[in-house]
Amino acid sequence: MKIVTSLFQSEQHASAAASHLEQADIPRAEIDIWSTPHNLAPLLEDEGVSRSDAHAYVEGVMRGGTLVLVRCPDDKIDKAVEILDREGVLDLGQQQTS
């Protein structure tokens, strides 16, 4: 299983992305939606996200964003990324520089 993470402008966008991921046969149990930063950085780091990216995601959530974390097999990664990108994912690089 691999991890795909995406930051969204709102919980509504994140929920829409989660619904589309489920329609693509990614089980709901493998999709986490985070709209509060509590314990988020350690969880992301435990999942293999770099420390700097984890803290950028936390900052994005603190500014009102919502994080979607998806655990999926290799053969579903491209589809998951396509769905997340289509739903209006925010640029993590922008979050790190702002």
Cα–Cα distance measured from residue 12 to residue 87, given in angstroms and rounded to the nearest whole number: 10
Q: What are the DSSP calls for 26-61, one per residue?
A: --GGGEEEE-S-TTHHHHHHHTT--HHHHHHHHHHH
**Is the pTM for the entire model greater than 0.75?**
yes
Coil vs helix vs strand at 24: coil
List the structure tokens of 80: 């998951």
41 dihedral zone (left: phi>0; alpha: psi -120 to 50; beta) = alpha
Split at pLDDT 50, 70, 90, the class of 90 is: confident
Percentage of the chain modeled with pLDDT above 90: 84
